[in-house]
Chains A and B, each alone.
Chain A
């Protein structure tokens, strides 16, 4: 993945507007957080291959870290802490946020076909 290029990613987000798309959204601090630090909490959630449709998609950020908001007819999809992007199989947009050790903390992925597995 590469550091987010805001203009390029915004262009790609716009291509998914008003289409049925599949999303993968997740956040995690790992399964060992409270094992290595008893004061820490294990927290994580993911949704894989939910089919959604959004009418607006916007990326906002400061040049390093970004937020994405997808406006649907009945609600929102939101992700914060996004730092990197890539295209997977040329058709799927992957956005992710990594910590300083390179570990994934958050991801938001959009494709017109389902993700594997």
Chain B
């Protein structure tokens, strides 16, 4: 059984869309979960539907939404304070060292992050790479396991089937609640999820399938 799980994603809502079900399952087993959230999603283009945020109010709004989602998921939140869309331009080693400081203090048995180069958003790719580097800097016998999440459309073709395909139907309600906490961001996806008409069936089923399963690759270190 895991002792402590650390989630390393860059944006408020990545945790809810990507891993809320898995997180909830860990929490139900009493396992502590800490989220090292990289940015506040300051440059997001979703402002609510209809818009209630603007470019300058968005960071605070998203911070509040994130805190609410973390309450729903019952997890500990740390904000790393990078700026949305800029992580790939930071020095990766520096980002990795900052992540490692947190990991050294927490001593997790499992780290969940994005799969570099297969996570679509440049922040996902860069922050995932830094997380994997952070764990790689640890002595091999002290490393937590790393689960890397790929999102790119071609990931199964290139990487093969994910090692972990987690059925989270039993905690789907909590996942949807966590997603809805990100009110400024959630409308689009959940419109798809809830829509009864007008939406092609394959899109709806795809969305439901995406929400009902969370999959990860176990990262294999060379040394």
Query: Out of A24, A35, A107, which one reaches B120, CB within 8 Å?
Result: A35
Whether B54 and A32, one on each chain, are in contact in the complex, defined by CB atoms closer than 8 angstroms, is no
B58 to chain A, nearest CB (A): 9
Say whether A102 contacts B51, CB under 8 Å.
yes
B68-94 contacts to A (CB < 8 Å): 83, 85
Q: Which of A53-61, A69-77, A90-98 has 4 or more CB atoms under 8 Å from chain B?
A: A90-98
Across the interface, A116 reaches (CB within 8 A) one of B47, B56, B85, B153, namely B56
Task: Flag if A117 contacts B42 (CB, 8 Å).
Answer: yes
- Interface size counted on chain B using CB atoms at 8 A: 25
Whether B153 contacts A35 by the Cβ 8 Å rule is: yes
- Of all chain A residues, the one with the shortest Cβ separation from B42 is A117
Could you list 11 further interchain pairs (A-B, Cβ under 8 angstroms) beyond the known A28-B43, A84-B51, A102-B48? Answer: A1-B54, A28-B45, A31-B121, A32-B120, A86-B54, A88-B54, A89-B56, A102-B187, A103-B46, A103-B47, A104-B51
The 9 sampled A-B contact pairs (Cβ below 8 Å) are A28-B45, A35-B151, A35-B152, A89-B56, A94-B56, A102-B46, A102-B49, A116-B59, A117-B83
Residues on A close to B: CB < 8 A? 1, 24, 26, 28-32, 35, 38, 46, 84, 86, 88-89, 92, 94, 96, 98, 101-105, 107, 109, 115-117
